Amino acid sequence: MTTTRPAGASPLAPEWLSVPADPTRLDAKLWAEDVERGTDGVLRIDGVSVDSLAQEYGTPLFVVSERDFRTRASTFRDAFDEAFAELCGGVDVFYAGKSFLCTEVAHWVREEGLGLDTCSGGELAVALRAGLPGSRLGLHGNNKSAAEIVRAIDADLGRIVVDSIQEVTLVGDLAVQSGRTANVMLRLTPGVHASTHEFIATAHEDQKFGLSLTTDQGPGQDEDESDGTSSPAARAVADALAHPGINLLGVHCHIGSQIFEPEGFELAARRLLGFLAGVRDRHGVELPELDLGGGYGIAYTEADEPRPAAEIARAMAAVVGSTCRELGLAVPRISIEPGRAIVGPTTFTLYTAGTTKTVRVDAAADGSEVLEDTSVTHPRRYVSVDGGMSDNPRPVLYGADYSAVLASRTPDADPVLSRVVGKHCESGDIVVRDVYLPEDTGAGDLLAVPGTGAYCWVLASNYNYLTRPPVVAVANGVARLIVRGETEEDLFRRDVQREPASPGTAVPATDPGAPRTA
């Protein structure tokens, strides 16, 4: 089997991974706009060196470019407003808070004129604390509690995205009890199979989110005998329109995350607009809003080619405009929910390297497969860092790929195929599966992993009782803490301690594993 692996590359490396000709070069699409490497080889963000950041805040450390975040947020806002200006007067951009959220980031969202999409009571609390008005907030979730729904109703949220027929009744009844009306959108599953990992594809039928467009068929009933009104989505519309506690704004979908191909978004838009036309024909109502979700991909490696926001916006506007003309439907107000595409590239994680080792791996000579019985072996360098799956579980959850660079000096040795691993007691604790790093990378060196702004800190854990890292924002040449790192005392605050017992005191019989006396 002939491969397209670059000349000089390790047979163990994926075909897309090239051997860096210039080990000091940074691939611009992976990094915030104000990250650069100085003449001394040290990475800087808006002029602040990673050496100084590591010295002041320690590692692991999430480092965010505030300027880059604001630029990406305003770029989405302006690009979609321009593309949809003639169709519906612009677009409402809701930052997807689940990607990364803290009070300071919520302030940035508010100041850049975006709305904020939340999917729990905790995320909603952060948004409200940052002063976002309820009209610019949304609440998602497939299993919202009554308390979360009441909080959203009391805050007069701009939209509660309802995920099931049961929730239509629950939200409506709670609104009536509160003497209010709930603004509701219905989350639909348009049956689009997005090209992404199965765990983050969310618009196919066999998953937990949303109301299906597929008609339920009774015994002996052919599909063409149905009147088209018995799908869960259609029944939810009828229930919502009839409920006195609900103001039905429109429909919503989200086809998945980390998607590069445009076809899925376009197909979802067509199917949902067709559904809105059906609502008009059956109920005589043109629902005024359509949310097309988010999920736009970013670059994690050199192989990824994300689409610019303006290109995405123009393609979606073309589909929405033409489909509405075909259906004779007024163009609804469009909203989108980018999260990863805004925050992901703004951030890198800074680690300190520790132990290293080189192993020999059996592989076919052409790199086409790994063999168990062959005399041909190839080296792979393992570089351990002081974090791992507790601050970035995406590689173990989704098989996600990342990149890494030596951040604290100019490389002094040739690059070798390396694997950056964490310090946890798990063989799957991999931070970067395949990357070329200088062979002399070793203890005390700083490594930077770009693209960690989304779904890293928010998924962080205390596995092996590691403390979660701090988050530092850099702006105008100044670094400041926006999320404090945990300490061991923070961990103990949740650990209910036993009261000291006096010598000879009997241990309660409910603790059979303890000694008989203290």
| Residues forming the active site | 425
> 288 preceded by cis ω (within 30°)?
no
Coil/strand/helix, residue 124: helix
Q: Are the beta carbons of 77 and 69 closer than 8 angstroms? A: no
How many other CB atoms sit within 10 Å of the CB of residue 146? 12
Please give the Cα distance from 31 to 306 (Å, whole number).
Answer: 13
Please give the Cα distance from 391 to 60 (Å, whole number).
Answer: 8
How many other CB atoms sit within 10 Å of the CB of residue 429? 21
CA distances from 401 to 96, 393, 394, 450 (A): 22, 11, 9, 11
Please give the Cα distance from 261 to 267 (Å, whole number).
Answer: 11
Torsion angle of alpha carbons 461, 463, 466, 470, nearest 10°?
-10
455-468 exposure pattern, b = at least 16 Cβ within 10 A, e = fewer: bbbbbbeebeebbb
How many other CB atoms sit within 10 Å of the CB of residue 199? 12
Pinpoint the alpha helices (H) of 102-164: 103-111, 121-129, 146-154
- The secondary structure of 438-479 as a DSSP string is ETT--TT-EEEEE--TTTTGGG---GGGPPPPPEEEEETTEE
Coil/strand/helix, residue 49: strand
